[in-house]
Amino acid sequence: MKLLEMTGDATSRLIDAAPPVPEPGEVIIQTARSAICGSEMKTYRGAGIAGGNSGHEAVGRVVELGEGVTDLAPGQRVGVSAVVGCGNCAECARGRYTWCKAARSRSRMHAERFAIHARCCSPLPDDLPWDEATLLTGDGMGVPWHTAKKIDRADINTIIVMGLGPIGLGNVLMQAHLGRRVIGVDIIDYRVDFARQLGADVSIKADETLIERLMDLTDGEGADVVIDCAGQRASVANSFLSARRGGIVVFNGESMEELLAPSRDFNRREIWAVGCWYYFMREVPEMFALWRAGLDVAKMITHRFPLDDAPEAFELFDRGQTGKVLLRP
């Protein structure tokens, strides 16, 4: 089968690989779509993955069942969660795999087939198109919805989204759909412009006057919520500076740096900080319901490539000249 190999230093290639074989409890998925996620760029630009890739958002059809799988059938359409829990703990029983102490992530989904545990598969409604399903069962919209639930308060009106990669753009679309006033911020013109198409009331390019402009846009008070989707030193600092007193800063962006000072960032302005990683399996039906209620997730998709052209797709994505990008074997 064909599989994308990340060869490191912002390069990739298609290789021939042996088809995956299911372990007990797993299924093999014939990929219908996979999506590129911003979190893949660190691996793509860095050392790569010998013999594979970091693809972790995909949908497709079940083609093979591993030992012990009884709740799925060959030919069934499914979306998958890339986070696999142990299946035996209290958190897994609640559908919160990301809180399982033994949780692990799966990838290699930029391929004609991939293996995944059966309990990470969500059957798709017959009328849900592949493109929309890819976003609704992946972190493309899963993270924005999981975030929205954490800030579900009637007193929240204005939200700044700091960083307009795919997760940031998903937050723009989600919060605009929920009726909030959204201000988008990024350093790339393409993404600043695209955020307006997804519902941002205002979208601006970050520069040395950013905080002054954000204060002007929020009557000198700051936003009720700032969602940091970049995980960079500057974006984290700007998120706290642009939140109002008593406001909320949500972390979607990944960072392992030590960036915060309790007195400066929290205590003296009584800021709430919220961590938000991936989504819960039990939230997938809720995302289907959002789509039925009019959440047009397909607006996020700007480019579609055949899997053979995945290297070109990654190069374009890496330059920040896309929204969500889908690959199709």
Q: CA torsion sign, 220 to 224 to 228 to 232? A: positive
Number of domains in the chain: 2
Task: Give the pair of three-digit tokens for residue 231.
Answer: 């995980």
Same domain, 62 and 84: yes
Range of the domain at 200: 143-275
Q: What is the pLDDT of residue 265?
A: 85
Q: What's the first-to-final CA gap in the chain, in angstroms?
A: 10
Q: What is the pLDDT of residue 295?
A: 98
Q: What is the pLDDT of residue 234?
A: 93
The C-alpha atoms of residue 95 and residue 92 are separated, in whole angstroms, by 5
Asked if residues 221 and 190 have their Cβ atoms less than 8 Å apart, the reply is no
Same domain, 126 and 186: no
Task: Give the pair of three-digit tokens for residue 156.
Answer: 């929240």
Q: What is the pLDDT of residue 58?
A: 98
Same domain, 62 and 18: yes
Candidates 239, 104, 221, 225; CA nearest to 185 is 239
Q: For residue 62, what is the domain's CATH number?
A: 3.90.180.10
DSSP symbol at 46:
T
Same domain, 306 and 182: no
Asked if residues 190 and 321 have their Cβ atoms less than 8 Å apart, the reply is yes
Q: What is the pLDDT of residue 174?
A: 98
- Specify which residues 181 forms β-bridges with: 158
Candidates 304, 310, 226, 300; CA nearest to 40 is 310
Domain boundary among 255, 275, 295: 275
Q: For residue 183, what is the domain's CATH number?
A: 3.40.50.720
Q: What is the pLDDT of residue 287?
A: 97
Residues of the chain with pLDDT under 50: none
Same domain, 6 and 133: yes
Same domain, 18 and 73: yes
What residue type is 228 in one-letter code?
D
Same domain, 271 and 294: no
Same domain, 206 and 312: no
Residue for token pair 């204005």? 158
Asked if residues 305 and 147 have their Cβ atoms less than 8 Å apart, the reply is no
Same domain, 120 and 151: no
